Amino acid sequence: MSFELEKKVGLQAVTKAARACARMSGQSEFRETLYKTDGSPVTLADFFVQALINEELSTSFPEIPIVAEETSLCLEGNCGEKLRNHLGKLLPGKNSDEILLAIDRGNNEGGGRGKFWTLDPIDGTRGFLAKRQYAIALALIEDGEVVLGILGCPELGPDARNGAGGKKGFVFFAEKGQGSYQVTLSDGLQTRISVSGITKASEAVMCESAEAPDSSYEFSGKISRFLDITAEPVRMDSQCKYAILARGDTSIYLRPPPRKDYKENIWDHAAGYMIVREAGGTVTDSSGKPLDFSVGKKLHENRGILATNGVIHEAVLRAVKKTVSKKRHAG
């Protein structure tokens, strides 16, 4: 089964959105922020990208539902008025109701049957606001299995490990069985990417969230020491972490669960998961279980995330297991 048309339309939509974000990210209007009921920020950029991509997807594939992060709820009433007006200017030809409708085309619940898209319009909104990294993350899931992943990373440089320098802005994509690719946002130059070739965990560069709970940093610090890793970790927002692992800048992405009952959203992982796997890497939860995208909007069957270059996956899992059991004995 090939997903040629979905890949073409998805890539066009993400590239268009990523270019628009790159162009407008410095404008204060584009960074206008509201806060959701859970206290997390959502910006004009989030709503704009969700409306734009949902519109493009549903024009070409009216029958494929979309599971997206945002809903139009925040935009209702007085507090949403400013953003509704800005959206009208960014999406000419659409009235306010049509824009809200486009955003709410993302209200599907997902599951294990048939095809659906999952979209995080701005993954890493905190990173976007702090002028760090963020990603536009789109994936296609069929019968519970991720078959296509696309990540737009407007602020990402050519080598995250070695810091700034070089032209920034990339789109990554991977279709099941077809490898992973990186495309420059400025001129569309496409190259195949693969994970790092290191064979010893001690040689790994670890990657983790830029804003993780302290407990996560403590935990990953223990894993690093256990594995004799000497390199400083790369801390980065969003699924850009998967992208830099997929092209070999880093070799481990560890995301420990912050609490027992914490469940990850599918749109925070599906695209990156596909890009790492097709680049030769391995992605499981932090106990080694495969990720199950078939059970709704969250990864209800999984706890935490571990992505590696594949070769060192078992070694890192052993380190996680030992560290967890030590903690249990101590606590």
Q: Which residues are catalytic?
A: 46, 125
**Residue numbers 62-81 binding Mg ion by CB under 5 A:** 69
Distance of alpha carbon 64 from alpha carbon 264, whole angstroms: 23
299-328 residues in contact with ligand AMP (CB under 6 A) are none
Residue from 138, 105, 126 nearest 35 by CA? 126
Contact 302, 214 (CB under 8 A): no
- Tell me which of ligand AMP, Mg ion, none is bound by residue 211, counting a contact when its beta carbon lies within the kind-specific cut-off of 5 to 8 angstroms: ligand AMP
CA 239 → CA 64, 269, 272, 298, distances in Å? Answer: 24, 7, 6, 16
Residue 69 contacts which entry, Mg ion, ligand AMP, none (Cβ below 5-8 A, type-dependent) = Mg ion
Identify the three-state secondary structure at position 269: coil
Residue least distant from ligand AMP (Cβ)? 209
Of 253, 264, 260, nearest in space to 295 by CA: 264
Is there a contact between 264 and 296 (Cβ–Cβ < 8 Å)?
no
Widest distance between CA atoms in the chain: 62
Q: Is 237 in the site for ligand AMP (CB under 6 A)?
A: yes
* Strand ranges for 13-84 from DSSP E: 33-35, 41-43, 66-68
Whichever of 106 and 127 has its CB closer to ligand AMP, that residue is 127
In eight-state DSSP terms, residue 249 is S
Query: Looking at 10-18, 153-161, 195-203, 211-219, which segment touches ligand AMP (CB under 6 A)?
Result: 211-219
Size, binding site for ligand AMP by CB under 6 A: 15
In contact, 86 and 44? CB cutoff 8 Å: yes
The 262-301 contact track toward ligand AMP, x by CB under 6 A, reads x-----x---------------------------------
Q: How far is the CB of 124 from ligand AMP (least distance, A)?
A: 4
By CB under 5 A, name the one of 6, 55, 120, 175 that touches Mg ion: 120
Q: Sheet containing 234-236: give its strands across.
A: 234-236, 206-209, 252-255, 305-308, 282-284
Q: Are 149 and 135 in contact (CB under 8 A)?
A: no
Note whether 125 and 41 are within 8 A (CB).
yes
Partner interacting with residue 258 (select from Mg ion, ligand AMP, none; CB below 5-8 Å by kind):
ligand AMP
Minimum distance from residue 85 beta carbon to ligand AMP (Å): 28
Total length of the chain? 331
- Determine the interface stretch with ligand AMP among 30-38, 95-103, 250-258, 291-299 (rule: CB under 6 A): 250-258
- Type of residue numbered 292: D
Binding residue (CB under 6 A) for ligand AMP from 88, 111, 221, 258: 258
Place of tokens 């069985």: 177
Site string for ligand AMP, 104-143 (x = CB under 6 A): --------------------x-xx----------------
Residues 122-181 that bind Mg ion (CB under 5 A): 122
Judged by CB under 5 A, the stretch of 118-126, 171-179, 181-189, 289-297 that binds Mg ion is 118-126
| Single residue of 211, 218, 228, 232 touching ligand AMP by CB under 6 A | 211
Contact at 8 Å (CB) between 123 and 306? no
Q: Which residues bind ligand AMP (CB under 6 A)?
A: 124, 126-127, 209, 211-212, 216, 237-238, 255-258, 262, 268
Q: Which residues bind Mg ion (CB under 5 A)?
A: 69, 120, 122
